[in-house]
Amino acid sequence: MSAADPDSAFTFISQGAIIQEFKVAGHNIVQSFPEARFYKSHNNAYLGETIGRTTNRVRGAELRNLNGRNYKLAINDGGNHNSLHGGSQGWGRKDFEGPKPVNRNGREGVQFRYVSRDGEENYPGTVECLVWYTAGMEDGKTVLELEYQIELIGDECEETVVGATNHSYFQVNPGAPTTEGTVVTLGTNEYLELDANQIPTGQISVFPTVPAPGGAFTLTATEPAIDDCFVMDREAPKSCPLDTRFLPLKTLATITHPNTGLHLEIQSTEPAFQFCTGDGLYIPEAETDKGVKIPSRGKRSGIAIEPSRYVDCAGREEWRRMCKIRKGQLWGARSVYRAWKD
């Protein structure tokens, strides 16, 4: 899909509605594989995937008091005994219908569709997920808009929990082994404090190494090491609508690198975002059908910025209104990625 500039284009694949390429001025700024098959065999890092049926972690891999019962989920979060990114075979591992060409909001785009059946990864209810990507150019900037819509379409239960985000790892110094030298500005320095099992305690605090909104910091080869949920809206547990698409966009983060002059700005209607400096990232080497070897990529070779609701909102009953849907309701989210080169 083109953004009306031959050097700015996007490639998607059906598995997980994955973003395979995000080209700006001829540079691909997402970590990726050159062939779709590697996303099934080599993608333990969730590169470019649509995460679902829930995002991030569910405490203790259990949903309590939903439809009057408890649901055990897959434990796939290392030694933390949580369920991560929708389970062992989350939406990023599933083949979506699409890409279907569409014109949405006056722009060229593609649509993906996935129906998650009742009991998949032991989540209740059959739900439909629609993903739209639209592309364009604004004031010389390459723009990718991402929109999610999830609906409970089955009659198996009265309610279920849902969520979706994109798990791309960005590198605005393409070809470099790490993101060292990347300058980062976050839209907030408040985050959800975590317990020893990487689950929020409920306390919102100031992250010690992140400056106040508008202040920039530079990544080194090792510091700062961040994999945390930053909060754009402290009142979200009380006021966040199921469908945030009509809310104003807020700037979550901008990243740039002086070596390339490449910039990326991420905005979203979501009340929080996971910011990860990729300290646990490992992408194994691969070999294409033509015998071309793709070298492995290691820690801090990309930055993940995942717009979302609060971590564990599916498992935490006092936060569940952010992600619990019934028949006739829509869960929705919208994010906009703007990239350019000096």
In this predicted model, what pLDDT tens digit does every residue of 21-50 receive, in sequence order?
999 999 999 999 999 999 999 999 999 999
Q: Say how far apart CA 304 and CA 306 lie, in whole Å.
A: 6
Q: What are phi and psi of 117, to 5 degrees?
A: -75, 155
- Residue 285's alpha-carbon distances to 6, 44, 178, in angstroms, are 29, 12, 16
Residues 185-227: tens digit of each pLDDT? 999 999 999 999 999 999 999 999 999 999 999 999 999 999 9
Would the pLDDT of 88 be above 90?
yes
Q: If you average pLDDT over every residue of the chain, what do you get? A: 96
User: What's the pLDDT at 4?
Assistant: 59
Question: Measuring CA to CA, which residue among 251, 264, 276, 277 is closest to residue 335?
Answer: 251
In the structure encoding, which two tokens stand for residue 138, read together? 């604004």
Q: Say how far apart CA 298 and CA 121 lie, in whole Å.
A: 29
Would the pLDDT of 3 be above 90?
no
Would the pLDDT of 8 be above 80?
no
Q: Say how far apart CA 285 and CA 42 lie, in whole Å.
A: 8
Q: Say how far apart CA 273 and CA 192 lie, in whole Å.
A: 10
Would the pLDDT of 2 be above 80?
no
Residues 108-149: tens digit of each pLDDT? 999 999 999 999 999 999 999 999 999 999 999 999 999 999
User: What's the pLDDT at 6?
Assistant: 64
The pTM of the whole model exceeds 0.85: yes
For range 174-186, the mean pLDDT: 97
Q: What is the dihedral of CA 71, 77, 78, 82, to 10 degrees?
A: -40
Which helix (H) or strand (E) is 40 found in, with range?
Answer: helix 38-41
Residues 103-116: tens digit of each pLDDT? 998 899 999 999 99
User: What's the pLDDT at 105?
Assistant: 87
